[in-house]
Amino acid sequence: MLGRVAACGIAVLVLVSLALFSGETKAFTDVDAPAAAVMIATSRHHVQDQIRNLTLDRTVDAQARIKVSALEPAEQSIKSTAAVGPAIQSPAMAEPFGLNTVPVASGEVLSKWSGVEADIRAENDILSRCRAEAELCSAAARKFLAIVAQGRAQTGRARIGIINRAINLAIRPTSDLAQWGVIDRWSAPLVTLTTGRGDCEDYAIAKYVALKEAGVAAEDLRLVIVRDLAVSEDHAVVAARLDDDWIVLDNRWLALVEDSQTRQMVPLFVLDQTGVRQFARAATPDERPVWAVGEGASAAPGSL
């Protein structure tokens, strides 16, 4: 019985060998047995070499892909100097778009934000007097307080939506160059509502202040400078936190969109009552597959 099994095994082996090398039968017809054995061994070694080379090529290709995927994104479009120190990110106080930030020590964005904050404080004094003596208020101040009152009458998402809609409808999109004769100017809300015109950061500043006046906590509000890949321009929006989600308010639409759905935006800077912070980097495709840093730059947010 064992001998029959062994014989069957040998026969199967011979058949398999013949099948494997059937394509080379004619090559061996005029070659003696030792030479054929050498050729078979050489062919086997050649196949093994091909396998090793293919494995090496795949390893090198994989390493190349890993190296490419680790490259840092292109340089951001608005220049600024970030302070030396660790990136800031707390699970309880996560920033919009879920990215780490570092404090900004100097630069154009910090200068503009510091200037507009001083203007906002001056306008707060005007609004306080208006609340005491409404008849002395300017039309712009009355309009702004009416928007704030509409927001205060609501809560949650409805409050955010009402203020977003009211500010969007109260301002006509106009570039700073057309309105003020300069490339970039950031205006406080009453200045914007007095002219009724402004560009993206003017909308965002007015919404930021109105939401805070309407009762949204300062720690739940951010003014965010982003790179809009759809139009290849820098742009300003407001982000308001609601139930641990960040909702983006944009002057170009009335809908409220969560930050995770703003697929064309690359966040650059975040501004609030604590100052200016720069997003440490744009997310990699594995972390946020919807983003990539665009090329080209404008000096400051200019999208309408």
DSSP H helix total and E strand total for the chain: 9, 10
In a domain, 4, yes or no: no
* Predicted local confidence at residue 55, as pLDDT: 41
- Rounded Cα–Cα distance for residues 247 and 242 (Å): 7
* Predicted local confidence at residue 194, as pLDDT: 98
CATH of the domain at 130: 3.10.620.30
* Predicted local confidence at residue 3, as pLDDT: 39
Max distance between CA atoms of the chain, in angstroms, equals 116
CA 223 to chain centre: 15
Cα atoms in the Cβ-side hemisphere of radius 13 Å centred on 95: 25
In this structure, the answer to whether residues 101 and 219 fall within a common structural domain is: yes
In this structure, the answer to whether residues 171 and 136 fall within a common structural domain is: yes
In this structure, the answer to whether residues 186 and 45 fall within a common structural domain is: no
Residue type for 300, please? A
End-to-end CA separation in angstroms for the chain: 90
Determine the angle formed by the axes of helices 108-132 and 139-152, rounding to 10 degrees: 90
- DSSP class of residue 274 equals T
In this structure, the answer to whether residues 93 and 232 fall within a common structural domain is: yes
In a domain, 220, yes or no: yes
In this structure, the answer to whether residues 42 and 127 fall within a common structural domain is: no
In this structure, the answer to whether residues 54 and 86 fall within a common structural domain is: no
Residues facing 228 on adjacent strands: 233, 265
In this structure, the answer to whether residues 120 and 224 fall within a common structural domain is: yes
In a domain, 50, yes or no: yes
Contact present, 163 and 150 (Cβ < 8 Å)? yes
* Predicted local confidence at residue 94, as pLDDT: 85
* Predicted local confidence at residue 35, as pLDDT: 40
* Predicted local confidence at residue 171, as pLDDT: 98
Residue type for 41, please? A
- Rounded Cα–Cα distance for residues 110 and 116 (Å): 10
Residues 6 or more apart whose CB falls under 8 angstroms from that of 266 comprise 226, 227, 229, 282, 291, 292, 293, 294
Residue 159, phi then psi, degrees to nearest 5: -60, -45
- Total domains in the chain come to 2
Domain span holding position 251 = 80-279
- Summarised one tens digit per residue, pLDDT across range 222-273 is 999 999 999 999 999 999 999 999 999 999 999 999 999 998 999 999 999 9
The sign one gets for the Cα dihedral 213, 219, 225, 230 is negative
In a domain, 185, yes or no: yes
pTM: 0.67
CA 174 to chain centre: 26
Residue type for 33, please? A
Report the run of H or E that residue 265 belongs to, with start and end.
strand 265-272
In a domain, 5, yes or no: no
Tell me the two tokens of residue 53. Answer: 């080379």
Q: Which residues of the chain have pLDDT under 70?
A: 1-93, 281-304
- Rounded Cα–Cα distance for residues 79 and 221 (Å): 23
